[in-house]
Amino acid sequence: MNRIQLLLCLFLLSAAGAFAQTPVQMATLPALIYNEDFADIDNWTSGFTAGIGAAPFGGVAAGGVGTIPNPNRITQATTSFAGTGSSGGVHRDSTGQRILLLATGTADNTNATALDLYLDYTGTNAGTLSFDWASVNNGANTSNRKGSLRVYGTTDGINFTELTDAAVLNITNYDPTSGSIVNVSLPASFNNSATARLRFYYYNGTGGSSGSRPYIALDNIAVTASGNPCSLPGASASFMTF
């Protein structure tokens, strides 16, 4: 490898590392509980590379195939914050100190966006997920189209398990609603996994006849771990003879 090739490789590795997310080390947290209230959301940058609390979150690129909803099918990337308020993707709510997702489009189940939360469960078992949610009005006040949120878990970014009790389905624009998802069990595949990931997946749900779709706001995300995972001993027990 010549000097130019070496420098290029080092540059690419450095660039890749700069945008890598930092998983939450669950085993190091007091009471094994992670909390994010988005108090510093104003300072979060595109790519989630700066801002207090941003590092464990990651944007999702557009791509994939299949019928929406499908955690592998994304039409609106969240690798950077949306440029305008009406654009699909991820937004900052500076007033409410929340993070927002927006899926657009007039035809139902045709547009989806997502946000990932990276977790490291090494030395611990999967616990629970809780969060607060709220619909946020968007566009003309005559709008009545809907949006839906589903939450998925994965350890490889390919195979996903839906947390069905964490779904928030068919919220309506200009019909303000809010609620809390409380203590939903995480997949057993998270046990002792260094590559656990939650995907908050928002898409243009079913219903409504005119105008825009609502944002969904996420706040007070809480993830827990428990105990230590069972593991087989590395070698058979030995006995001492006196």
Q: How do the domains of the chain map onto residue ranges?
A: 21-226
| Inter-residue contact 197 to 101 (CB < 8 Å) | no
Indicate the pTM of the whole model. 0.87
| Inter-residue contact 122 to 113 (CB < 8 Å) | no
- Please determine, for residue 227, whether its predicted confidence score (pLDDT) is greater than 90: no
| Inter-residue contact 82 to 102 (CB < 8 Å) | yes
| Inter-residue contact 133 to 217 (CB < 8 Å) | yes
Other CB atoms within a 10 A radius of the CB of residue 88 amount to: 23
- Please determine, for residue 18, whether its predicted confidence score (pLDDT) is greater than 50: no
Lowest mean pLDDT among 18-32, 75-89, 169-183, 220-234: 220-234
21-226 is classed CATH 1.10.10: no
pLDDT in tens, 149-182: 999 999 999 999 999 999 999 999 999 999 999 9
- Please determine, for residue 231, whether its predicted confidence score (pLDDT) is greater than 80: no
- Please determine, for residue 14, whether its predicted confidence score (pLDDT) is greater than 50: no
